Amino acid sequence: MKIAIGADHRGFLQKEYIRSIMQPYVWYDVGAYTIERSDYPIFSQKVCEYVLSSRAERGVLLCGTGVGMAIAANRYTKIYAAVAWNIEVAIKSREDDWSNVLVLPSDYITNDQAIAIIDAWLQAKPRTGRYQDRIAMIDALPHK
């Protein structure tokens, strides 16, 4: 599986750890590349572009709380970014809400938790029926 991954300075070290441990996956690292201060919207945009162009099947973003990255990512049509701080939330975000971008709050989870959360999310499958209907309703919302 091909996954785009990006982080600001607060998520940088965890991003590096994830890429080093989760080797069976092809990671497209869009930055940041150092712990120097950086701005999360830049990396959110790059990950979303990879997912929307199908260069990556999914995306992972990391920042301090995850909130800024999720807000920025969800500006894009057909991006369903979800902040997950545990395995259960990650699985439900994929099954029920079809998340295609996982956002991790690096300041609040350990490296091992991050690996477990990503692994569970990557294994989860979107549900059809009413869950798919809700995604269609979201996609039909007007852009304002």
63 in active site: yes
Residue 117 has what pLDDT?
98
**Nearest-angstrom CA–CA distance, 97 and 82:** 9
Residue 143 has what pLDDT?
78
- Residues 68-92: pLDDT tens digits? 999 999 999 999 999 999 999 999 9
- Residues 18-72: pLDDT tens digits? 999 999 999 999 999 999 999 999 999 999 999 999 999 999 999 999 999 999 9
The pTM (predicted TM-score) of the whole model is 0.96
- Residues 107-123: pLDDT tens digits? 999 999 999 999 999 99
Residue 133 has what pLDDT?
96
Query: With pLDDT > 70 as the criterion, what percentage of the chain qualifies?
Result: 99
- Exposure string over 56-77, b if 16+ CB within 10 A, otherwise e: bebbbbbbbbbebbbebbbebe
Bond from prior residue into 32 cis (ω within 30 degrees of 0): yes
Using the structure block, give the residue that is written with the tokens 């995850």. 66
- Catalytic residue, chosen from 51, 63, 84, 114, is 63
